[in-house]
Amino acid sequence: MQDKLNEIKAKALELISAGDTPEKLNDIKVSVLGKKGELTAIMKSLKDVAPQDRPKVGQMINDARAEIEKNLEEAMAKLQAEVRNAKLKAEVIDVTLPSKKPVIGHRHPNSIALEEVERIFIGLGYEVCEGPEIEKDYYNFEALNIPADHPAKDEQDTFYINADMLLRTQTSSTQIHAMENEKPPIRILAPGRVFRADEVDATHSPSFHQIEGLVVDKNITFADLKGTLAEFAKELFGEETKVKFRPHHFPFTEPSAEMDVSCFKCGGKGCRFCKGSGWIEILGCGMVHPRVLEKCNIDPKEYTGFAFGVGLERIALLKYEIDDMRLLYENDVRFLNQF
């Protein structure tokens, strides 16, 4: 048995000396000292030894185990130190090298354009407010003087959730909420996302943004509307910008108009940007329809008001001379980095 013990110990020490990874040392430990290891098997056979020899043999087994365990611990500590030193060497930091510059995001073109529009109207005394994107049919259509048989209510243009709820098609619905909850004078700007069942192309998207403006007070006239929007256009596109109004029709305003601005690229002479006309269509506007005021319990004989709506993407496309609306939503960093 002593010869067997010496053989196991010598073999184990040789393997430990040759072990070059922690995994190999663990394998040696299991094969020699584990539950089914060689040394454990000898320990189990101790019952077959004569009683008077058991203490001596048991001591020999314990000594062999202690020596093997000591060598395993020393070898393992040495290997772990080598791995740690190699890792520290590989991860050493040269403090003299320039630091990596962090990549910082910036505002989206839509956000830049919206902040500019809000700055202008806040300077004119407007309050920025928001309305729900999931809207009742009443606020999106009926209260805005859009009857049930109006083409805008066709399911091909509107995303309906059920018979009474829909994804709003215009931020004009925010006007109704404002007039219901506030008493005149009212002066608000309502930016927000709207939804329409449009095909995606260079100028259309099923989801885009509008900015709605509303003023309600005594003695408000179309002249106030023209003056406000002319000032807005000059602030946004330059002091030399001129405006012109063309008659139009919107169910919730009467009279209604569309406003054009003189081309800020060619100064109104005609170019590719304005398609040779010298003018660029920018927004729709008009005097708030008396029926809309009545729906909100505002006396149209005492109060009048004007409203206007402009597409946020429209402003961004014009201001930054972008040809395709889809670029605003494709998250191409090469495009966005230009802003």
pLDDT, one tens digit for every residue, the chain (339 residues): 677 777 777 777 777 778 778 777 787 777 777 777 777 777 777 666 677 767 777 777 777 778 878 888 888 888 888 888 888 787 777 778 888 888 777 788 999 999 999 999 999 999 999 999 999 999 999 999 988 887 767 666 888 999 899 999 999 999 999 999 999 999 999 999 999 888 888 778 889 999 999 999 999 999 999 999 999 999 998 888 899 999 999 999 999 999 999 887 777 777 777 778 889 889 999 999 999 999 999 999 999 999 999 999 988 888 888 888 888 888 888 888 888
Is 157 in the same domain as 280?
yes
pLDDT of residue 25: 77
Same domain, 128 and 24: no
Q: Domain span at residue 76?
A: 2-90
Q: Which residues on neighbouring strands pair with residue 134, listed in sequence order?
A: 167
Q: In what order do the strands lie in the sheet with 253-262?
A: 127-128, 186-195, 207-217, 304-311, 279-288, 253-262, 243-250
Residue 166's pLDDT is 92
Cα–Cα distance, 60 to 104 (Å, whole number): 69
- 138 and 192 share one domain: yes
pLDDT of residue 199: 83
Task: Tell me how many domains the chain contains.
Answer: 2
Q: Could you tell me if 23 and 141 lie in one domain?
A: no
Q: What is the CATH number of the domain that holds 205?
A: 3.30.930.10
Query: Which residue stretches of the chain are H helix?
Result: 2-18, 22-33, 38-44, 54-90, 109-123, 137-140, 173-181, 222-237, 290-295, 312-319, 333-336
| 63/208 same-domain check | no
Q: Does some domain include residue 104?
A: no
